[in-house]
Every structure is written in structure tokens, then in C-alpha cells.
Structure 1
């Protein structure tokens, strides 16, 4: 992702409206695969054209977009460009595509960020209709939603889990998924860019600063880590995350002393 691309994402987030397809593709550009933004957006527009006649869910289902049940944790499954290419993705990636297509055709649809499993809701009727893109685009009743939450997260169901979430929160959760996937593969440089972009999406999230300092340290970029930690402590000395940042600064100091 170039500085210009990051600036485009920041400008969209600041000024709105947020196009989930474009925002996700701007994140995907960070992976360095030479993504063709115009071509990818044209693909989404093509799906929207079909959905104007056939409906969002029927079109995406009939086009073969489905859950990636094998290699579920592969980072590619959190990327919209890869979903468009393979038609297989994570729950939140499939939901992102559905929401992006729905927005283009004026269909009322909301993202539902349940713990452990992201779904969408058709909000065009008197009551929302919950749909699981990952699970074959099937409709869910409240009992189904509760079972999904308990199976995927181990948490007891709460009605608040069905509250719609805004686009910015969807992007933040996508980046969190990517970061976890990269860290489990010890791809520290890739995990670092998810943190850096995450700070564009959620600038007030102190845990992202902690993550950036830790990852910069792990990558041997000690001066950058120290600069980020020092700047955070100067700007937000009373933040609850300050103690973790101070501990990381101590670690940095120990590493520098060993080097000398």
C-alpha cells in the first residue's frame, strides 16, 4: 500500500461515505500483489448489476460465493480481492461483499458482528431477517444465532449481539482477523502493516499502538519502536495502555544494552 493509498483510506473514513468494497480493497493493496483497484471494483459493480434483477443473496449464492471451510485461517480468506477470485472466504469477508453489493442496489442490509461469527441482516421488513453467508446463505432464527455464538465463541447469547455494526468496525475486525492469521504464521512484517492500517481505521485504539511497538521490536526496528512508544506516552500518559508501553520500552532498553 502506498502513502497515497493509505491517504485515500484515511480520507474516506474521515469524510464518508464508506464504501466497504473499496475500503477493503485498499487494505488488500497492502499485501503487495499488484492489485488492480479498478478491475476489482468493476467486478463488484457487475455483481450489483445482477443483483438489481435477482436480489443480493440469490445472486451471490448462485455465483458460488461460499464459506472457506478448508484452510479457514488462511489470510487470503479475509481479503475481498481473493474472495472475488476464488469465491471462498471468511464470514466477515462474505458479509462485506454482500453489504457492498446491497449498498450499490439500495437494498437494506446491515452487518451483524456476533462474537465468533459475522452475519448479515435484511432490514427491509418489520423485523430483521438474519442470513449466514458463510453457512450457505441460509436464514437464521434467534435460536440459530444463539447456537452459532455459543459454538464459535463459547459465550452465552445476548440479544445485543444482533445489533448492527458500522462499516468502520467491520474494517477493524477484518484487520484483526488478518493480524491473527499472520501472527500464527509468524509473518511479523505482514502483521505490522495490519496494525499500521488499523491505526488509520481506529486511531483511538491504544492496543494497536502496543501491538505496533511489540512488532517493530520483534522485527529489529528498535528506533521506530522507541519513537512510537515515546510519542504515545507523551500524548497519552494516563492511558490504561501506558504501563504496557512502558514495559516494552524497558524491553527495548535491555535489547539495546545487549547490543552494545
Structure 2
């Protein structure tokens, strides 16, 4: 389960994200204060964005990819009363209870493909992972990657696993190919075959169940077609487990990258 902290101060909105995440200060039960990037249940995409962030983030971390650690953040809507920005005020008021935070990577820089080359092995692992979770939001237009202390970090997985917005189509959707033609790392000749050989055997039912278990019950209750939160968790496992075995065969990269062309 996620560690929980309590929000004490809303610092500033991070307007790069469509769901208007914010930088907040929070305190844990030991009295330690820290900064987090917070995503809200009251945002337009709703709690499924937070579910995707947790499952994808925990799965990526288990596979050795760098993703900021997720944390549950309790928010008292009263924090919104003093906000001068009406949009932010409304968001805070609508998000009372448990929200999602990620460790704030202070000083991190946005990924620039012209300034930071990625080797084919690392590019392959990222592309393969994004294909597994069907992340449609890591294009060259919006890389959703950061450079922190010289390493590549992945952020913003809320647009992944789009089949969970319509569970009746989950089996069909999860079986579809992954179009990586616009992927931010496509120019780096990603070695997806090597990534699949390394990572696919690690994606077991137990690993997926562990990632899904970290999603709080209150973000899964009342899901249409499911009797309880555990049934929803099993649905995520059922969608991802078979996909891990074969998705590398259905990753669609631009033809120049397939032939080994350089940037």
C-alpha cells in the first residue's frame, strides 16, 4: 500500500500537465516535511488517472526504470479557501480526501533529445514498457521525461491503459499494436527485442498483482461491472499479463529506425 502523508501547503500549479497538477508541501507521521508533485481526484480525468499512475509507476520501478516514488496525500479542502486562482481553488475543494503525490525531483530538467542522447538498450526498455501499458503520451511533442542527476526519469503515466475507461473493450484493446512512430525515443534506434527478452519474463502475475495492490480501495470502488476493488485489480492483471508476452512483436516503429538509421 502507498505511504500516506498530509498536505499542509499548496505551493504552485504545474501548468504543463493537462490535469493541473500542483507542487505541494506535506508532512508524514514522523513530522518530516517534503515537497511532492500532486495529482488530484477532482481533476477532469478523475481517479482513473491516479490509478494508472500507481500501477504503471510501480510496475516501471519494479522493472528497473526510474519513476518518482508515488505517495498518497490526504488533502483537507480548506487549503483551497485562500487560493486566489479560482481554477486552483475549485480543484482543491473538489479533491478532499486521498490524492496522489510523486517525489518532487528538485532541479530536474525536461528531456531534450538534441542535448541528451539515449543508447538503444535504454531506449528499447522505455519503448517496450510504454507499449506494455499503452502509454500514448510520450511523443516528441510531449516527452514526459526528465533528466535528474544525469539519469533519465519517466513521469506522467495517467494516459496509459486507456482500456480501463471502457472495460468491455479491454481484451480487444489490450491486444492491439502499439504505434511508436511518434515516440520521443524512436530516433535512438530502440532495441525492443532485447528489452522484451530482459523484461517480459519479469512481468509475472504476482508482480502485476503487487502493483495493482498499491491502488487504494477508494479509487476503485463503485467501478461499473465489478463487485469490489479486488475484482478491478484482477482486471488490470488480466489485461497486462498476456500483453507482456507478445507486445514487442506489435510495436510499430518508423521504418528508418527499423533499418538502423542514425538520427
TM-score range, shorter chain: under 0.3
Looking at secondary structure, tell me which structure has more strand per residue.
Answer: 2
TM-score by length of structure 1 reads 0.23
Higher RCO by CA contacts (8 Å cutoff, separation 6 or greater): 2
Looking at secondary structure, tell me which structure has more helix per residue.
Answer: 1
Larger Rg: 1
TM-score by length of structure 2 reads 0.23
